[in-house]
């Protein structure tokens, strides 16, 4: 029980420091009317590659092109474009390289399904091995 | 004179490594006495000359000898002296020399501290290490000599160390990482020896376990330091990017983790030897692959290290020879290590095996994702990116069963365990962790995020069941406590990852001096922006006053540095660290009218990620020490 | 014999990996270059005011009916200088229609640069925000596009234009397209 108490204490401390947005004094660089839009914007940026950087997403990059693309995506989100429309817009201009999470298509079947097939195969091999060595 | 001496010392080291490889191999098969007599002197000789070479390069950095191309490219007179020491491994040539230096330390350590072992095996082990050293030193001498002179026009000033690397975390990150990479060469060479001799007895395994654990601890620390460095230096507060270079260090870690568990299994039951040998070969092969990926430039990465194709081809061929021949040896000889043992499907053995299998699957998945863009490009199918959204989507579901099994393992007996007994023992822990996990996530935190729930539940499950195993265990050895600490480290790390990802708060705002931005109870006031003058950089420094519920708690200083010589802009984030949360401020670009773009983050529990890694490392050290001091009869 | 095969598996997988990586290392691919998604696609619909005249514009229409070149440049871009030299030479010696897109730059400095070094462009669009460049899928300067008579993008070159790129790649293509 002691352990549980400690854990509860820890989590309750966490809950005390749990925070919510307070009234802002300053202007956000990308102000949104609602949290859904804000959430979508941030997820989109995290899933898109900054083309000129080595391996950064659009959210993290300080490159000028990344800033322009952020602005472009921001305006599209505000305008009410769907994620699909925004991704399509970018794909048309920059190609698949911009997506950090590749679409499922014939070229990426192996990438997406491979790990799970491997897991299954390994599981079967493991099961057979253990079965043969059972006491 | 100094660089020529260093160069010459390296050539002598090459000679010693060659002798180590050839003479000892010859001795093993033809003349045992010869091998025994030359083993130590050759090892010492190689170590001394590699050390000399390394020391002379370090000396050249200290005295700013810009007549050496490598020094001129990676240092400057304005660079603080401590960074001049780390600049030795700041780029390709020097980091390879460090690699070889660490290899010679490990080799010496094994040769010196392995008296109880059979001489023939020892000779093969040192000979294999000699082959690896030969390959690397030859590589340095042929393609990446750090002692090349820049004559006759000696520059007055160097081009400075890459500003990203001028950091405390980076001071020790590469050496630790290399200690881990290279440390796996011990288990590797022992495996080769076992395959050649056709025998791998428990005494061997007992002896190799602490070495492997130490290597694993170093690698764990190295990865954690790298992550901590990225958190502070890359300027946007992330701690893992699934960058190819990071993956390159994660791959051997995953297999190394499997290996330390497999070794426990192999020692206890005197079985699963061919599997253990394969893991040892894999762990070191992946370390070599990591070196190749970072150095060859075949993958685009956030760490834009200098690279060229000739080097890539050389390392690749070297890899082909080393890995190819050891896997061939494995295919040919490993059946000689076969020995059938029996155990029930619910037993420590089967759970340890399951751990191994899952870890290898995860490793394969990460490897697949890392190399996939390269496959696609090679096949002429265009250019794609595989980044963190992919890896998270694959890695997390595969981790879940592994973490679940972690709770079962320590509570399971060797050979046989009835399922109902195991369930009876652990049902309270299972129930409690599920209950707390679900009620915390969906009840108190009012979150609907499944991953948060899974993370909390698993962390609790691991902690509770591990503690339960302490309660049940009758023989609480040092290495047992090592396991407990390391496993709890994993739980701590999971909590850190879960909370910091789900409950991070972030604001990206426009601030002028005097403006205030708040996140929850915390408010950050930009007091002033000052010009910054450092030893080898200039820039701006933004002073923030931080208040919590209107009580002043800290002052933070976020900087934007411009390193003159390297010509690079760096974001030096201000971090106010705490046990339960970090406050993180990063200065963006100047906007109009004296305003700046500023990002402010509240990152709960982020320290726990590295704390967990430290616990894992501590546990590993404790276990290694315990195993080492436990004499085998 | 089946169990033998299992022991061979790791070696076979490794050899497979090795072959792929080896081939890749032999291929002359610049890891930093991103292929354009717009190859053989119609140019984007756009209209943008000119650098030297706010009342006139550069737009999609300008590219119709003849082979043209679009060069994306900026004064802050060091390698654009080399491009500019070559473009000046070409503008004098070859019958080409060259358009420019001035990318994220200051108007004053850009006009001064053209006055000082000469103007090879028939029209220069002034893209201070970089929005039109996004439509063209530009990710850096300098970039050069070749557009055919029907308004399809047939070629894109990133980085500085050199004599050899011009002779080997661009000129033959333009001759072919103009025929």
pLDDT tens-digit profile of B11-70? 999 999 999 999 888 888 887 788 888 888 999 999 999 999 999 999 999 999 899 999
Output the furthest CA–CA distance in chain C (Å, rounded).
82
Least confident of B187-196, B563-572, C89-98: B563-572
Whole-number pLDDT of residue B304 = 41
Q: With bands split at pLDDT 50, 70 and 90, how would you rate the model's confidence at A20?
A: very low
8 Å CB contact between B16 and B40: no
In DSSP terms, B587 is beta-bridged to B598
Interface of C with B (CB under 8 A): 3-4, 7-8, 10-11, 14-15, 17-18, 20-25, 27, 29, 31-32, 34-35
**Alpha carbon distance B566, B72 (integer Å):** 12
The reply to whether A13 and A61 lie within a common domain is: yes
What's the pLDDT score for residue A23? 41
Q: Burial, B350: exposed, middle or buried (Cβ in 10 Å; 0-12, 13-18, 19+)?
A: buried
Annotate chain A with DSSP letters as a single string. Answer: -HHHHHHHHHHHHHHHH---PPPPSSEESS--SSHHHHHHHHHHHHTBB-TTSSS-BTTT---HHHHHHHHHHHHHHHHT--HHHHHHHHHHHH-GGGBSS---SGGGHHHHHHHHHHHHHHHHHHHHHHHHT--
Domain that holds residue A112: 104-135
- As a whole number of angstroms, the distance between CA A69 and CA A98 comes to 11
Same domain, yes or no: A127 and A97: no
Shortest CB distance from C104 goes to which of A52, A64, A93? A64
Which value, to the nearest 10 degrees, does the dihedral of the CA atoms of residues B44, B47, B48, B51 take? Answer: -160
Residue B301: burial class (beta carbons within 10 Å; 0-12, 13-18, 19+): buried
User: How do C143-147 and C68-73 pair as beta strands?
Assistant: antiparallel
Minimum distance, in Å, between the CA of residue B361 and any CA atom of chain A: 6
* Side-chain-facing half-sphere of B456: CA atoms under 13 Å: 29
Mean pLDDT along residues B211-215:
95
Predicted confidence at residue C32, as pLDDT, reads 63
> Which positions ≥6 away from C1 have C-beta within 8 Å?
none
Query: Does the CB of C20 have a partner CB in chain A at under 8 Å?
Result: no
Q: What pLDDT, on the 0 to 100 scale, is given for residue C2?
A: 53
**In this complex, do C34 and A72 lie within 8 Å of one another by their Cβ atoms?**
no
Instruction: Using a pLDDT cut of 70, give the percent of chain C over it.
Output: 95
Q: Is the peptide bond before B436 cis (omega within 30 degrees of 0)?
A: no
- Angle C36-C41-C45 from CA coordinates, rounded to 5°: 100
Average pLDDT for residues B374-378, to the nearest whole number? 86
CB A62 within 8 A of CB B589: yes
Mean pLDDT of the B574-594 span: 89
At A78 the pLDDT is: 92
Residues A89 and A134 in one domain: no
Nearest 10 degrees: Cα torsion B240, B243, B249, B253:
60
Structure tokens at A115: 């790990």
- Of B166 and B139, the one with more pLDDT: B139
Which positions in chain B touch C4 (Cβ < 8 Å)?
Answer: 331, 335
pLDDT-derived band at B302 (thresholds 50, 70, 90) equals: very low
> pLDDT value at position C161?
85
Sequence-distant (6+) residues with CB within 8 A of A76 are A85, A86, A89
Is the pLDDT reported for residue A26 higher than 80? Answer: no
The reported pLDDT for the residue numbered A76 is 93
Q: Do B327 and C11 touch (CB under 8 A)?
A: yes
Give the total number of structural domains in chain C.
1
| Mean pLDDT calculated for residue range B544-567 | 89
pLDDT in tens, A51-78: 877 778 888 887 888 888 999 999 999 9
Task: Tell whether C63 is covered by a domain.
Answer: yes
The DSSP element (H or E) to which B309 belongs, if any, is helix B309-333
What global pTM score does this model have?
Answer: 0.91
- How many independent structural domains does chain A possess? 2
Nearest to B190 by CA among B261, B262, B284, B97: B284
A touches which chains (3+ CB pairs under 8 A)?
Answer: B, C
pLDDT for res C31: 60
- Give me C4's structure tokens: 């033998």
Look at residue B601 and give its three-state secondary structure: strand
Which residues does residue C123 pair with via DSSP β-bridges, in sequence order? C99
pLDDT digits (tens, 9 = 90+) for C8-55: 999 999 999 999 888 887 776 666 677 778 888 899 999 999 988 888
Say whether pLDDT at B361 is over 50: yes
DSSP structure class, residue B598: E
Q: What's B315-357 look like in SS3?
A: HHHHHHHHHHHHHHHHHHHHHHHCCCCCCCCCCHHHHHHHHHH
Mutation target vs B (from C4, C9, C11, C76; most B CBs, 10 A cutoff): C11
In this structure, how many other beta carbons lie within 10 angstroms of the beta carbon of residue C109? 13
Residues B463 and A3 sit within 8 Å (Cβ to Cβ): yes
> What's the token pair of residue B590?
């100047």
- Asked if C84 and C73 count as a contact pair (C-beta separation under 8 A), the reply is yes
pLDDT of residue B305: 42
Q: Which of B536, B501, B529, B532 is nearest to B585 (CA)?
A: B529
Burial (CB count within 10 angstroms: exposed 0-12, middle 13-18, buried 19+), residue B170: buried
The verdict on A75 touching C (C-beta cutoff 8 Å) is no
Q: Nearest to residue C72, comparing CAs of C165, C134, C163, C148?
A: C134
Q: Which residues of B touch C22 (CB under 8 A)?
A: 316
Which residue, A125, A109, A118, C9, is CA-closest to B367? A118
Question: Which CATH number do you get for residue C107?
Answer: 3.40.30.10
Strands B516-519 and B574-576 turn out to be: unpaired
Q: Tell me what pLDDT residue A21 has.
A: 41
pLDDT digit string (tens) for B412-457? 888 877 888 888 888 999 999 999 999 888 887 777 788 999 999 9
Instruction: Yes or no: say if B178 and B101 are a contact pair by the CB < 8 Å rule.
Output: no
How do residues C101-158 score in pLDDT, each as one tens digit? 999 888 899 999 999 999 999 999 999 888 899 999 888 888 999 999 999 999 998 8
Q: Are residues A30 and A66 in the same domain?
A: yes
Q: How far is CA B218 from CA B102, B132, B210, B226, B385, in A?
A: 12, 20, 12, 12, 31
Q: Is the pLDDT of residue C87 over 70?
A: yes
Question: What would the mean pLDDT of C70-98 be, rounded to a whole number?
Answer: 88
Q: Over range B522-546, report the average pLDDT.
A: 90
Q: How far apart are CA C119 and CA C111, in angstroms?
A: 9
Closest CA to B223 of B609, B504, B571: B609
The partner residues of B528 in beta bridges, in order of sequence, read B543
Residue C34, chain A, CB below 8 Å: the answer is yes
Q: Is the pLDDT of residue A9 over 60?
A: no
CB-based contact B197:B32 (threshold 8 Å): no
Of B238, B342, B589, the CB nearest to A134: B342
Q: Using pLDDT thresholds of 50, 70 and 90, give the confidence band for residue B298.
A: low
pLDDT at B91 > cutoff 90: no
Residues A33 and A68 in one domain: yes
- A95/B345 CB distance under 8 A: no
Task: Please tell me what DSSP assigns to residue C78.
Answer: T
User: What whole-number percentage of chain B has pLDDT above 70?
Assistant: 97
* Chain A interface mutation, best of C31, C39, C134, highest count of A Cβ atoms under 10 Å: C134
Does one domain contain both A91 and A112?
no
Please give the pLDDT value at position C93: 85
- Name the residue of chain A whose CA is nearest to C41's CA: A92
Test the A interface: residue of B240, B244, B384 with most A CBs within 10 Å: B384
Q: Could you give the C-alpha distances from B375 to A105, B237, B386, B568, in angstroms and in order?
A: 15, 31, 12, 33
pLDDT for residue B579 is more than 50: yes
Contact between B404 and B461 under an 8 Å Cβ cutoff? The reply is yes
Tell me which DSSP letter residue B549 carries: T
- H-run or E-run covering B183: helix B168-197
Q: Is the pLDDT of residue A1 over 50?
A: no
* % of residues, chain B, pLDDT over 90: 52
User: A53 and A81: one domain?
Assistant: yes
Spell out the residues 6+ positions from residue B544 whose beta carbon is closer than 8 angstroms to its own.
B524, B525, B526, B527, B555, B556, B557, B558, B574, B585
CATH code at A90? 1.10.8.640
Torsion sign (Cα): B492, B493, B499, B502: negative
* Average per-residue pLDDT for chain B: 89
Residue B48 has which token pair? Answer: 């001394």
Tens digit of pLDDT for each residue in B475-527? 788 889 999 999 999 999 999 999 998 888 888 899 989 889 989 889 999 99
Q: What is the pLDDT of residues B254-292, one digit of tens each?
A: 999 999 999 998 988 888 888 999 999 999 999 998 877
Q: Which chain B residue shows the shortest CA-CA distance from C34?
A: B383
User: Which pLDDT value is given to residue B202?
Assistant: 84
A window 87-106, beta carbon within 8 A of C: 91-97
* Whether residue B191 has pLDDT greater than 70: yes
Q: What is the mean pLDDT of residues B536-554?
A: 91
B111: which 2 tokens?
């040769």
CA gyration radius, chain C: 22
Closest CA to B255 of B156, B327, B188, B350: B188
| Binary contact (A94, C35; C-beta < 8 A) | no
Residue C151: give the domain boundaries: 47-178
Whole-number Cα distances in Å, B248 to B242, B293, B549, C161? 10, 7, 44, 36
Q: Tell me what pLDDT residue B90 has.
A: 84
Cα–Cα separations (whole angstroms), residue B473 to B264, B476, B481, C109, C151: 17, 6, 10, 78, 78
The C-alpha atoms of residue B239 and residue B233 are separated, in whole angstroms, by 10
Kindly report the three-state secondary structure assignment for every residue of B278-295: HHHHHHHHHHHHHHHHHH
pLDDT of A18 reads: 42
Chain B environment of C27 (Cβ under 8 Å): 378
- Say yes or no to pLDDT of B614 above 80: yes
CA distance C8 to chain B (A): 5
Number of CB pairs, chain A paired with chain B, less than 8 A apart:
184
What's the mean pLDDT in B223-239?
A: 86
């Amino acid at each position: 029980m002691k352990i549980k108490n400690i854990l509860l204490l820890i989590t309750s401390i966490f809950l005390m420091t749990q925070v919510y947005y307070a009234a802002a004094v300053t202007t956000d660089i990308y102000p949104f009317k609602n949290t859904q839009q804000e959430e979508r914007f941030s997820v989109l940026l995290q899933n898109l590659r900054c083309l000129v950087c080595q391996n950064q997403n659009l959210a993290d990059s300080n490159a000028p092109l990344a800033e322009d693309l952020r602005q472009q995506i921001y305006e599209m989100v505000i305008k009410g474009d769907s994620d699909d429309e925004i991704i399509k817009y970018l794909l048309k201009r920059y190609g698949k390289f911009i997506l950090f999470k590749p679409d499922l298509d014939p070229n990426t079947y192996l990438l997406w399904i491979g790990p799970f097939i491997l897991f299954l195969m390994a599981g079967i091999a493991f099961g057979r091995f253990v079965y043969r060595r059972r006491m | 004179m100094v660089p020529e001496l260093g160069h010459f010392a390296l050539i002598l080291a090459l000679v010693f490594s060659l002798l180590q490889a050839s003479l000892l191999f010859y001795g093993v098969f033809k003349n045992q006495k010869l091998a025994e007599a030359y083993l130590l002197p050759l090892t010492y000789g190689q170590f001394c000359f590699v050390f000399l070479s390394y020391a002379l390069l370090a000396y050249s950095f200290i005295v700013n000898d810009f007549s050496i191309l490598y020094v001129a490219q990676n240092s400057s007179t304005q660079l603080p002296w401590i960074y001049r020491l780390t600049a030795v491994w700041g780029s390709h040539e020097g980091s390879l020399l460090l690699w070889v230096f660490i290899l010679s330390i490990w080799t010496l350590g094994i040769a010196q501290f392995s008296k109880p072992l059979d001489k023939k095996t020892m000779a093969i082990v040192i000979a294999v290490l000699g082959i690896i050293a030969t390959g690397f030193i030859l590589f340095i001498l042929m393609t990446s000599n750090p002692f090349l002179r820049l004559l006759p026009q000696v520059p007055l000033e160097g081009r400075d160390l890459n500003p990203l690397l001028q950091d405390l975390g980076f001071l020790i990150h590469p050496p630790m990482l290399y200690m881990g990479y290279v440390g796996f060469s011990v288990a590797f060479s022992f495996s080769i020896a076992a395959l050649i001799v056709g025998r791998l007895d428990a005494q061997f395994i007992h002896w190799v376990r602490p070495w492997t654990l130490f290597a694993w601890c170093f690698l764990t620390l190295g990865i954690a330091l790298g992550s901590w460095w990225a958190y502070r230096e890359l300027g946007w507060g992330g701690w893992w990017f699934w960058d190819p270079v990071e993956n390159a260090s994660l791959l051997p870690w995953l297999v190394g983790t499997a290996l330390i568990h497999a070794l426990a299994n192999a020692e206890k039951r005197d079985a699963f030897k061919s599997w253990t040998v394969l893991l040892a070969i894999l762990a070191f092969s992946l370390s070599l692959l990591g070196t190749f990926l970072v150095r060859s430039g075949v993958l685009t990465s956030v760490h834009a290290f200098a690279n060229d194709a000739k080097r890539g081809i050389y390392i690749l061929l070297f890899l082909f020879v080393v890995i190819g021949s050891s896997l061939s040896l494995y295919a040919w000889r490993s059946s000689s290590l076969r020995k059938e043992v029996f155990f029930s499907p619910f037993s420590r053995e089967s759970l340890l095996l399951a751990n191994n299998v899952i870890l290898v699957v995860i490793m394969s998945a990460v490897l697949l994702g890392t190399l996939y863009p390269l496959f696609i490009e090679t096949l002429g199918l265009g250019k794609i990116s595989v980044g963190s959204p992919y890896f998270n989507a694959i890695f997390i579901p595969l981790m879940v069963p592994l973490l679940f099994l972690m709770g079962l393992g320590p509570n399971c007996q060797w050979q046989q365990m009835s399922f109902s007994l195991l369930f009876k023992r652990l049902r309270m822990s299972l129930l409690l962790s599920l209950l707390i996990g679900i009620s915390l996530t969906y009840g108190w935190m009012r979150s609907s995020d499944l991953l948060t729930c899974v993370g909390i539940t698993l962390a609790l499950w691991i902690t509770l069941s591990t503690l339960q195993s302490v309660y049940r265990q009758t023989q609480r050895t040092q290495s047992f406590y090592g396991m407990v600490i390391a496993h709890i480290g994993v739980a701590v790390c999971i909590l850190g990852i879960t909370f910091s990802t789900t409950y991070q708060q972030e604001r990206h705002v426009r601030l002028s001096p005097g403006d205030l931005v708040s996140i929850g109870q915390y408010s950050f006031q930009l007091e002033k922006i000052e010009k910054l003058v450092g030893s080898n950089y200039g820039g701006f420094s933004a002073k923030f006053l931080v208040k919590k519920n209107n009580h002043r708690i800290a002052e933070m200083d976020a900087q934007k540095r411009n390193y003159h010589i390297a010509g690079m802009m760096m974001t030096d984030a201000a971090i106010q660290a705490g046990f339960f949360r970090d406050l993180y401020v990063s200065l963006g670009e100047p906007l109009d009218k004296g305003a700046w773009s500023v990002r402010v983050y509240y990152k709960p529990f982020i320290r726990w990620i590295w704390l967990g890694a430290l616990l894992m490392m501590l546990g590993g050290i404790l276990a290694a020490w315990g195993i080492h001091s436990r004499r085998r009869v | 014999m089946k169990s033998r095969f299992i022991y061979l598996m790791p070696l076979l997988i490794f050899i497979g990996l090795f072959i792929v990586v080896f081939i890749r290392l032999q291929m002359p691919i610049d890891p930093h270059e991103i292929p354009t998604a717009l190859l053989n696609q119609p140019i984007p619909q756009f209209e943008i005011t000119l650098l030297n005249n706010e009342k006139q514009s550069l737009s999609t229409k300008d590219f119709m009916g003849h082979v043209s070149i679009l060069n994306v440049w900026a004064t802050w871009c060091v390698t654009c200088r080399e491009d500019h030299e070559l473009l000046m030479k070409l503008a004098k010696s070859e019958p080409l229609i060259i358009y420019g897109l001035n990318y994220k730059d200051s108007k004053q400095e850009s006009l001064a640069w053209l006055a000082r070094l000469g103007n090879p462009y028939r029209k220069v669009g002034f893209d201070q925000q970089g929005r039109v460049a996004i439509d063209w899928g530009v990710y850096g300067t300098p970039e050069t596009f070749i557009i055919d008579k029907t308004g399809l993008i047939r070629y894109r070159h990133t980085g500085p234009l050199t004599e050899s790129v011009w002779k080997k790649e661009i000129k033959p293509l333009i001759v072919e397209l103009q025929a």
